[in-house]
Homo-oligomer: A and B are copies of this chain.
Amino acid sequence: MQGLMMDRPLLTTEILKHAVRNYRNTEIVTRTVEGPIHRYAIGDAARRIRKLANALTAMGVKQGDRIGVIGWNTYRQFELYYAVGGIGAVLHTINPRLGIENASFVINHAEDDYLFYDTTFAPLVAMMRPNLKSVKGYYVLTDAEHAGEAGDGADNYEDLIAGAPEAFDWPEFDENTAVALCYTSGTTGDPKGVLYSHRALVLQSFATVLPTAMSMREGDTMLPVVPMFHVNAWNTPYSCLMIGVKQVFPGPRLDGEGLYEMLHSEKVTYSAGVPTVWLGLLQYLEETGKELPHLKRGLCGGSALPEALIRGFAKRGVEMQQGWGMTELSPVGTVNVLPPHIEELPLDDRMPYQLKAGRALPFVDMRLVDAQGKILPHDGEHEGHLQVRGPWIIGEYYKAEKSTLTADGWFDTGDVAIIDEGGFLQITDRSKDVIKTGGEWVSSIEIENAALMHNGVLQAGVIGVEHPKWQERPLLVVVKRPGQEVTGEGIKAFLKGKLDKIAIPDAVEFIDHMPIGATGKVLKTELRKMFKDYKLAE
């Protein structure tokens, strides 16, 4: 028997309309690519979004068409989010760090009709243009005055929307309609496209702002460092609007000083980014002695949150919070909010919990599976391949040639994890990065995090190298902190007692620059190339 409720779709446009009705004066602030600070309110944003929707329609953009964008977090990309999705088209957000080859590949694979980009990326676009097969028009995300800087004769965004009418009647359509497309970073093989539906992003927005997750409220100010060009800036462009949270977009300045300026001047209370970003900010605060009295919490995801970051920010009154997700999860799967009886403990006692990735959002179902496909208990001990399912988790990759899911309909995350009896997830490693040694699994991430606690270690990456007896043994690759004296033996001594004996790396090597991928993570594939023929001493 069917219920008899209204059939109303979960569309992102409804979030925008809700915000206009309830939070029209809430600010959206951007450090522009051009330089100056731009600020306007949600009501103004909505007006420009409607103008953009009219302009796109006039350009002939129809439901299902893909529109590419390569841009920093700014109000203009924010406008594209709502306008493109709102007319039933698909915003393909492109990660500029993919490089020319992969970026060209994804634009061709998505068959983007138009490409919007910041002036910063004009050289990249100029180099790609000869390769791009489907793009009918190019728009620089700036005004006529600054468009010249792009130097490629493209049209500009402000001229495009200038003459468009302010009124637009948003269409209604099935909530399963595609709204956005994002490709994985493609560290192994070609990037793969994840085609998000309105339903998925709306549901995830509800779930991420829960008091058991990001727990934002009106009066908070969110600065997403996590990029709009990849995994929807963790959905903050939608979730913040849903509950009237002020947004601050950092534009192209993601260094410690640049972030500090925006966090401080806009009294940001909550921010979100990957560990490298937080490390850069912490380093800046340490060097300058500056403080961020308004910042209360920082959400950290993308890779494991190092203990050093938690402690460094805790000293400064900022609670670091770990989350876990993937492009294929829209992207959030867990957020770590501690239960009250743990939250009230001293930092040392609650540290084991803060180092975990948190508990699943409602409707994210997680299971652990061993190599034989047997389902393992959630007991804080069994370690297995993490598989997930839920309404904002991928069903299949865009134009996939083979099935994306397991035979019984779960998505295998490629992560190895432990889940405890209270539901707390602990990612121990990527399946392919786990070091298999003497029949046991050693987590490369665990070694990296322990190494990062050493004063002389700025960045750390661990890979397995062949070993005649143990199959594989860990090699720790380190970038030294400038001005610090440090030796491999010193680091190994430091790690003793912090790690199981089996996890102490056999060797430490120093390099000048850590290879970092398009999403800010250490590129293990590059490290493996660099140390391909590495021979462990004895």
Residues of chain A touching chain B, judged by Cβ–Cβ distance below 8 Å, are: 1-10, 14-15, 17-18, 21-24, 63-64, 90, 174, 176-179, 194-200, 203, 206-207, 209-212, 215-219, 242-244, 330, 337, 339-340, 359-360, 362-363, 365, 378, 389-398, 405, 409, 411, 421-423
Contact = CB atoms under 8 A, between A and B. Distances in A.
A422 B23 CA distance: 7
Contacts of A395: 4-7
A398 B177 CA distance: 30
A221 to B, nearest CB: 11
A6 B409 contact: yes
A332 B198 CA distance: 23
16 contacts: A3-B195, A3-B197, A3-B199, A4-B194, A5-B395, A6-B409, A8-B389, A9-B391, A18-B363, A21-B359, A21-B423, A22-B422, A206-B206, A211-B215, A218-B339, A219-B339
Nearest to A180: B3
Given A8-B363, A15-B362, A216 B211 contact: yes
A363 B359 CA distance: 26
A363 B14 contact: yes
B339 A90 contact: no
A391 B6 contact: yes
Nearest to A329: B5
Contacts of A218: 211-212, 337, 339-340
Nearest to A243: B212
B217 A394 contact: no
List the 10 closest pairs (A to B, CB-CB), nearest first. A3-B197, A1-B64, A219-B340, A211-B217, A22-B423, A206-B206, A3-B178, A4-B195, A8-B391, A5-B200
Given A22-B360, A211-B217, 16 more contacts: A2-B178, A3-B177, A4-B194, A4-B395, A5-B392, A6-B395, A6-B409, A8-B390, A18-B362, A21-B359, A21-B360, A21-B378, A23-B423, A210-B210, A215-B217, A218-B337
Given A1-B177, A178-B1, A209 B207 contact: no
Nearest to A341: B219
Contact of A196 (B5, B23, B199): B5
Given A218-B339, A422-B22, A243 B210 contact: yes
B243 A22 contact: no
Which of A5, A218, A378 is the most central at the interface, judged by chain B CB atoms within 10 Å of its CB? A5
Contacts of A339: 218-219, 244
Nearest to A328: B5
Contacts of A411: 6
A17 to B, nearest CB: 7
A354 B212 CA distance: 26
A403 to B, nearest CB: 12
B210 A2 contact: no
A508 B7 CA distance: 47
B330 A196 contact: no
A421 B21 CA distance: 7
Nearest to A359: B22
A330 B5 contact: yes
Nearest to A15: B362
A402 B4 CA distance: 14
Given A4-B394, A392-B5, A212 B217 contact: yes
Contacts of A90: 1
Nearest to A215: B211
Contacts of A195: 1, 3-5
Contact of A363 (B2, B4, B10, B330): B10
Contacts of A362: 14-15, 18, 206, 242-243
Contacts of A5: 176, 195-197, 199-200, 330, 391-395
A309 B237 CA distance: 39
Contacts of A337: 217-218
A106 B392 CA distance: 39
A194 B391 CA distance: 26
Contacts of A360: 18, 21-22
Nearest to A205: B362
A398 to B, nearest CB: 6
Given A14-B362, A22-B359, A215-B217, A4 B398 contact: yes
Contact of A4 (B242, B390, B396, B422): B396
Contacts of A378: 21
Contacts of A397: 4
A7 to B, nearest CB: 7
Nearest to A361: B18
Contact of A207 (B63, B64, B206, B421): B206
